[in-house]
Structure 1
Amino acid sequence: MRAAAQDRGGPAGPRAWSRWRKLPWAVVALWVAVIAIAGPLAGKLSDVQANHAVDYLPASADSTQVAKIQEALPGGESTDLVLVYHRDAGLTPADRTEAARQSARVAADHTLTAPPRAVPSKDGTTLMYPVSTTEPGQDDDARTAFVDEVRERAKGGDGLSVRVGGPGAMNTDAQKVYGSLGGPLLYTTVAVVAILLILIYRSPLLWLVPLAVAGVADALSMAVVYGLNRGFDITVTGQSSAVMTILVFGAGTDYALLLLVSRYREELTRHARPQEAMAAALRGCGPAVVASSATVAAGLLCLLAADLTSSRGMGPIAAVGVLCALLAMLTLLPALLVLLGRRVFWPLVPAYGGEPVRRRSLFAAMGGSAGRRPVAVLVTGGVLLGALSLGVFSRPGDLKLEDSFTSKPDSVAAMETLADAYPGRSSQPITVLAPTGRADETLDRAHATDGVASAERGRSGGGWTELSVVARDAPESAGERNTVNALRAGLDGAHVGGPGAQQMDLERSSTRDLRTVVPLVLLSVLLILIVLLRSLVAPLLLVAAVVAVWGAALGIGGLLFEPLLGLKGTDPGLPLLSFVFLVALGVDYGIFLMHRVREEALAGAEPTAAALTALRTTGGVIASAGLVLAATFAVLTNMPLTGLVEMGFVIAVGVLLDTFLVRTYLVTSAAVALQRRMWWPGALSRTPAPPAAPQEPELLRAP
C-alpha cells in the first residue's frame, strides 16, 4: 500500500503531494510580507545607536550621574573643544595673530560660555584655545555640525598645524567611525562568506541562496532589535550592531550550508522528489540545529546580568541575531532550495539512487592518531592550551580613550600634541558637580586636592553647580586616576565625571561583570548540555574544553596585539564578551560531535568506534563551519575601532583552536580514554560495551 501511494505522488497520495508543492511558495510569500514590514524598521536602527562613552556605563556609575545632571543644566550638555596651534620650530608672531583671528571668528559665529583665551606652552611651540558652548544642546547632528564648522574655520599651512581636540571633538570622531561601520562591515562579510562557500561547495549558484537568506535574516534581526529598543529601551551600540551582523552571517551560514544543505544533498540520493528529501533532512538535522542555537542564545542572554549598559544590551541583540538566522535557515532556505530543485547543486548534481561521493578523510586520519594514544594526545593538547593561556599576562594594559581608534583621528592627534606641550596640565578636564549650596566649599577642596592644577566654577541649575578641574597629569595616566580617586574621596556629596572618570568606571564595571556573568554562562550552558546529552561527564568535558580555548585565545591575543597588530591597550570588555561568544559557539560545535558519538553508542558501537566514527562523519562539516565562522569574525579585524579588532581576532583564533585542536583531538581522545564513563551517570554508561572491532579500513572512508 505504501509503495502504491508513493507511485501515485507521495506518502498520502496526490492531494498530499499538491499541498507539498504549494507549501514552499506559501513560505516564500510569508517571508516577502515579513520583509516588507521589517525593511523600513531595519533602516531606523542606526538612528537609535548610543555610541558615547557614557552610554556604555551603568546608571549607578558616578560619571553617569555627572552626564545626566549636565544634561539638565541650562543649555543642556556642553560641547567642549580645544583649538591646538603647533609649529615644531616655535610659533611665529604671524601664527599667533592667525590663531587669535580664527578663534575670534568662532566666537563671533557661536554663543560660547566664555570668550576663547589663549594658553601658550612654556616651550613656545604650541598655543591652545579652549572653546565651550551649549549651543548644539543634546542633538548629536548639531554637535557634529558645530565641530565640523570649527574645523573649517581653524586652518593651518606652511608648517603650522591646527587641530581640533577635546571631549566634544572626540565624541564627534567616535560617532563618525561608528556610523561608517555598517556598509564596509556588511560588504566585507558577504564577500568573505561568498568566497568560502564557493570553495567549499564548488557551485556557481548554490552560495547565492544562503547568502540571500542571511541578508533577509539580517534585515529581520535589525527590525526586531529596533522594536526592542523602542519598547524596552535596550541600549544599541555600534559594537552590538556589528556583532549581530557577524553572527547572522556566520552562524546562519553554518546552520544553512554546512548542516542543512549537506544533509539535504545526501537525502536527494535517497528520494526522488526534493520536497521529500528536504523533509528528511529537516527531521535529521533540525533538532540538533535548534538545540545548538538555543544553547548559544541562552549563553548570550546571560549578559542581561551585566552591569555595563553596553554588555547588557549586547546579550539580547546577539541572541536575536542567532534566532532570526535560525528561523530563516529552517524555513526560507528550505523553501528556496526545494523550488530551485536539484539544479542548484550544478555541476555536482546529486542523482536519485546514486551513491554519495566517498573520499579519503583527513579527520579519519586525525581520529586514528587520537584513538591510538588518547591519554598522550589529551595531555599534550592540554599542556599546549595552558602554555598559550600564559600569554594573557603579556597583553597591553587597559585601553585608553585616545587609543580606541586604529587610525588616528584629528581629536587624538590634538590630545597627543597637548600632552607633549603641556606636561604639567591635562588637556581633558575632570568634571565635578557639587550641590550649589556647597559649591564654594567644594571648589576650595578641589583646589587643595593633590594632583589638581586648577579648578573653576561653571554653570549652575537644578540645585547643582558645575566645576571644571584640570589635573596636572596626562589624561588617563596613573596620576590622573589618583586625582580622580582623591576627588571622589574628598568631595562629600559631589559627583566626579568626565572622560577619564568614565574610563575608570568602565574598567571597574567590566571587572564586576566578569565575576558575575561568567558563572551564569557556565551554569546555564552546563545545565542545557546535561539535559541534551543525559550525562554529567560529557557536558563537564565540553565546558572545560571551551574555557581552555578561551584562555588560549586571550593568551595569543596578549602576545600579538601590540607587536603584530600595533594595538596599545586591551579593551576592558574583551575578556567577558570573548568568553560569552567562545563558550556559546564552542559548545554549539560540541553538541554536533557529542550528539553523533551518543547516537553511534546507542546504535551498539563500542566506545572507541563510536568516537572515531562521529569524528569521521562530522569532522568535515564542523571544520567547514569553523572556517566560515572564524572568517566572519576576522572581518572585525579590518574595522577602525580597537575594541572590534581585538574581539574579532580573539574569537576567530578561538574558533579555529576549537575546531582543529579541541574537537578533533582533545574531545575525541577524552571520549576514547573514558569509554562508557563518558556518559555517567546516564543509562548509557551502564550498558555493556560490545566487543571491539578493527576500525582502520572504515576510518579511511568518509561520505
Structure 2
Amino acid sequence: MDTPPRPAGHRASRPAPNPPRWLLVLVPAVLVAVWLALGAVGGPYFGRVGEVSTDDRASYLPSTAEATQVEGRLPAFTGDAVPAVVVVTGPGELTPADLTAIGQRLETAAAAVGAEGQASPPIPSDDGLAVQAFVPLPASADLAEATTTLREALRHDLPPGTEVLVTGPAGFAADLTEAFTGIDGLLLAAALAAVLVILVLVYRSPLLPLAVLATSVLALCGALLTVWWLARAGVLLLSGQTQGILFILVIGAATDYALLYVARYRDELRRTPDRWEATRRAWRGAVEPVLASGGTVIAGLLCLLLSDLRSNSSLGPVAATGIVFAMLAALTLLPAVLLLLGRAAFWPRRPTVDPQAPEPGADGGPGLWARVARLVARRPRAVWVTTAAVLAVGCAGLTQLDASGVPQSQLVLGGSEARAGQEVLAEHFPAGAGSPAMVLVPQEDLGAAGDVVAGQDGVAQVSVVAEGAGPAVPLERALAGAPAPLVVDGTVLLQATLTDPADSMAAEQTVRDLRTALAGPVPEALVGGSTATDLDTNAASVRDRTLIIPLVLTVILVILVLLLRAVLAPVLLVATTVLSFGTAMGVAALVFGPVLDLPGADPAVPLYGFVFLVALGIDYNIFLMSRVREETLEHGTREGVLRGLRLTGGIITSAGLVLAATFTALAVIPVLFLVQIAFIVAFGVLLDTFVVRSLLVPALVHDLGRVVWWPSRLARSAP
C-alpha cells in the first residue's frame, strides 16, 4: 500500500517496498511459534528451581574467607549433618520421669527423620526447667519437611503441658525454605496481576495487555530455562532470593520495552495504513533505545561479578540473562504478534490514519504532558532548582540507615518457631547454645588455644570434638585424654558456646576478639561457625559496596557518552540518578526505622538498591534523552526537550508504574531483604519517573540549552 501524503512539518520517510504477502505472514508466524515452543519447554521449570538452588549463607562466601575454610573442613569432624536444636520446657521443674520420656521420644523422632546418627541425650538446664538436645538431620534432606516431621514426632505422647520447639541451624534454614515456597506461584501471580491491571488502564483494550503479558512470560520462560541448566552445571549459584529478583526483573523490563515499542507502533499506524511499514518504522525507532537501555542494565549487573559474595556475583549473570531475553522478546515476539494482529490489537480504540493530525510532539493539546512541557518552558530554572532541593532534603534520611547486618533470626518476617525456640533457649542456657563458634587449631596448640578461648569475654564454655560417636566433651576432659580429641590432618576442633545469641552483634564482636586473641599464640587457628559466617558475609558486603558502586557509575557514564555523543549531558543524567537514589534510600531509612521498626538491613541492601535503581533509572533517561536528541537534530535543544517530554512522558510513567508494581510484588515473600528491596526500588522508580524524568531533567536541559551536548557538534550549531 502507498502512504498518503503527509501535512507540512512531517519528516519525510520513503516507505520501503513490501515483501511478498506470504512472507509477511510466514516470518511473524515462525517467530511466534519459536517463542511458544520455548515457553512449552521452559514453563515446567518454574516448579523445579529448588532442585538447583541453595539458601546456605556459608556457600556464598569466597574460598579465602576464614568461615569458608572452617566450613569446608567441618564434615571430617562432625559429618555432613545439619543440627536441629530441640528445646523442651514443662509447666514446672522437669522430673527424671519427664527426662526419660523426652529421651525416648527423641530416639523415635530421630529415626522418623532418618537422622545421621543418634540424637544426643536430653541436656537439662541449671534451673531444671528445660532440656536441650541435638538431632543431626541429613544435609541432603528437605529441611522444611524434615523439621516439620521432627516437630510432630517429638510432640507425640509427651507429658501434659510440655512445650517442644525446634531451632538451631536446621530450624532457621527450614524457616527460610518455607518463606520461599510461594515464589513460583504467589510471587508470579501477584506481579502479573499488578501488571495486567496497569496495562488495561493504560491501553483500555482487552487484547493488547494480553499480548504484552505473553511477551513477558515467554521471556521469563526462556531466561529460567537457561539459568536452570547453568545452575545445574555449577556455572551459577541460584538461591530463592536470586530467583525472586529474576522473576520480577524480567517481567518488569520486558513490559517496559514492550510499552516503548507499542507506543511507536501505534504512532506509526496513525501515519500509515500499511502495518508492515508501521512495523518497520516502529522497530527502527525502538531498537536503539531498547538495546541501549538493556545494554546499560546488563553492564551494571555484570559489575556484580567482581563481588566477593557468590550470591552477588551470581546474581549479575542471572539477572543479565533475564534482561537479554526481555529485549529479545520485546524486539521479536511482540512485533511479530502485533504485525499479525494489526490494528485489531488495539480494539476497541483502533488507531486510524489521520493525515491532518498534528506532528507528534508538537505543542497543541490540553494533555497532561503538554501542560508539564509548558511549565518547564516557562520557568525551567525554578523547576529544576526546587526539584533538586526537595530531593536533597530527602537524602538527609541516609544518616538514619542501619545497614550493618540483620540477625539470622530476623531474616524471615512473621511468626517463627526457630526464633521462639532461640529465645526460650537463651532463657535457660547460654544464649549461644546450639550454634557454637568452631575453632580449628593444630593438635600441638590445643592447650594454648583452649586457654585463650576459655578466657575470652563472651565465651560461656569450651568443648572439644573427641574420638568416637557422641557430643563434644569439655575441654578439661579432652586435655586429660579421656576421651582423646579427634585429630584430622593434624588439627582438632574446639566448640565455643557464646554467652550472646549466635546471630547478635555482640556475638560477632566476640568472634572478632577471638580471632585477634588467637592470632599471636596460635597463628594457624581458624574461627568459623554461623556467627563467623555472618561476620564474614557482612564484611564482604561492605567491601562490595565500596568497589562496585563507583564502577557501576563509571560504566553507565561511558555508555551514555557513547549513546548521546556528548559528555556534559551524561554527567548530568548520572548526577540526577544518584540524587534520586539518595532520596529513595533516605526515605527508606525513615520508613524502615521509625515507621516500621525493622531490625536494620543487610549490608547488601544499599548495593542491590543502587544497582537496580541506577541501572533502571538510566533506562528512563535513555528513553527520554534518545528521543530528545532525535528531536534536537531538527528543532534545536530547547524545543527538542519539550517535544521529547511530550512524546515520552506517558511511556516513561507507564513503564515506571509497571516496574514499581512488579517490584512491590516481592513483598509477598516474607523475607526481610526482599521486602526492603521491594520498597526501595518501587519508591525509587516512581520518584524517578514522576519527578526526576518529568521535571528535573527536562527543566535542567531546557535551562542549559545546547551546551548540554558539549563537546558534540550539537553544542556548537543550530539544528
Cα deviation for residue 248 of structure 1 reads 0.9
Give yes or no for contact 2:432–2:501 (8 Å, CA) kept in 1. yes
Report the counterpart of residue 379 of structure 2 in structure 1.
373
* Residues 211 and 129 (structure 1), Cα distance of their counterparts in 2 relative to 1, 3 Å cut: same
Q: What is the CA–CA distance in structure 2 between the aligned matches of 1:159 and 1:361, rounded to whole Å?
A: 69
Whether 1:572 and 2:603 are equivalent positions in the alignment is yes
1:528-547 counterparts in 2 under 5 A? 528-547=559-578
Of 57, 78, 83, 1:80 maps to 83
Of residues 385-394 and 422-431 in structure 1, the stretch that sits farther from structure 2 once superposed is 422-431
Q: CA separation in 2, counterparts of 1:299 and 1:107?
A: 48
Match of residue 648 from structure 1? 678
Which of 118, 126, 143 is equivalent to 2:123?
Answer: 118
Q: Hey, what's the Cα distance between the residues in 2 that align with 1:629 and 1:426?
A: 44
- Partner Cα distance (2:443, 2:147) in 1: 31
State the shift of 1:428 in Å. 2.6
1:454, 1:290 → 2: CA distance? Answer: 60
Pairing 1:489–2:494 present: no
Instruction: Identify the residue that residue 151 of structure 1 maps to in structure 2.
Output: 151
The verdict on how the C-alpha distance between 1:40 and 1:199 changes in structure 2, with shifts beyond 3 A counting, is: closer
Q: Percent identity?
A: 38
Structure 1 pair 167–578 and aligned structure 2 pair: CA distance change class (3 A):
same
Q: SS of 1:335's equivalent?
A: helix
Contact 1:623 1:659 in 2 (8 A): yes
Instruction: Tell me the amino acid that sits aligned with residue 685 of structure 2.
Output: V
Which residue matches 1:210? Answer: 212
The letter for the 1-side match of 2:562 is V
Q: What does the per-residue CA deviation read over 1:566-599, in whole Å, with 9 as the maximum and x for residues that have no partner?
A: 4212122101111011110001100111112222
Query: Which amino acid in structure 1 is aligned with residue 88 of structure 2?
Result: Y
- Name 2:495's counterpart in structure 1: 468
Identify if the C-alpha distance between structure 1 residues 40 and 632 changes in structure 2 by more than 3 Å, giving closer, same or farther. Answer: closer
Residue 75 to residue 85, structure 1, CA distance change in 2 (3 Å): closer
Between 333-342 and 619-628, the greater mean CA deviation after superposition:
333-342
- Cα distance, 1:433 vs. partner? 2.3
Query: Hey, what does 1:198 align to over in structure 2?
Result: 200
- Which residue of structure 2 aligns with residue 457 of structure 1? 464
Please tell me the residue identity of whatever aligns with 1:261: V
Deviation by residue 1:592-622 (Cα, 9 ceiling, x = unmatched): 11112222221033x3322222111111110
Q: Distance in 2 between matches of 1:278 and 1:32?
A: 21
Query: Separation in 1 of the partners of 2:425 and 2:270?
Result: 71
1:501-512 superposed matches below 5 A? 501-512=532-543
TM-score, length-normalised on structure 2? 0.88
SS at match of 1:192: helix
Which of 652, 665, 668 is the matching residue for 1:638? 668
Letter in structure 2 aligned against 1:614: G
Aligned pair 1:549/2:580, yes or no? yes
Match of 1:58 in 2: 62
Instruction: Name the structure 2 match of 1:695.
Output: none
Residues in 2 aligned to 1:359 and 1:278: alpha-carbon distance in whole angstroms: 26
Aligned mates of 1:410, 1:140 — CA distance in 2? 19
Preserved CA contact (<8 Å) 1:403 1:568 = yes
* Match of residue 130, structure 2, among 121, 127, 130: 127
For residues 624-671 of structure 1, what are the alpha-carbon distances to aligned partners after superposition, in whole Å with 9 as ceiling and x for unaligned? 110110111111122110000001110111101111111111111110
Query: SS of the residue aligned with 1:603?
Result: helix
1:221 aligned residue: 223
SS in 2 for 1:129: strand
2:106 touches 2:119 (CA, 8 Å); kept in 1? no
1:445: how far off?
A: 2.9
Q: Does 1:399 align with 2:406?
A: yes
Aligned match of 1:622: 652
Q: What amino acid does structure 2 have at the position aligned with 1:299?
A: G
Report which stretch shifted further, 533-542 or 439-448.
439-448
Corresponding position of 1:28: 32
**Which amino acid is the alignment partner of residue 331 of structure 1?**
T
Amino acid of the structure 1 residue aligned with 2:182:
S
**What is the distance in 2 between the residues matched to 1:58 and 1:583?**
26
Q: 1:688 to 1:574 in 2, by over 3 A?
A: same
- Matching residue of 2:703: 673
Provide the rounded CA distance (Å) in 2 between the counterparts of 1:572 and 1:415: 24
Superposed counterparts of 1:244-323, under 5 Å: 244-256=246-258, 258-323=259-324
Distance 1:477 1:70 in 2: 23
Is contact 2:107–2:118 with CA below 8 Å preserved after alignment?
no
Say which is worse superposed, 594-603 or 556-565, in terms of deviation: 556-565
Inter-CA distance 522–103: structure 2 relative to 1 (3 Å threshold): same
TM-score by length of 1: 0.90
Letter matched to residue 677 of structure 2: M
**Judging changes above 3 Å, is the alpha-carbon distance between structure 1 residues 208 and 424 closer, same or farther for their aligned structure 2 residues?**
closer
The unaligned stretches of length 5 or more in structure 2 are 5-14, 359-363, 467-485
Amino acid at match of 1:366: V
For residue 652 of structure 1, what is the amino acid of its counterpart?
A
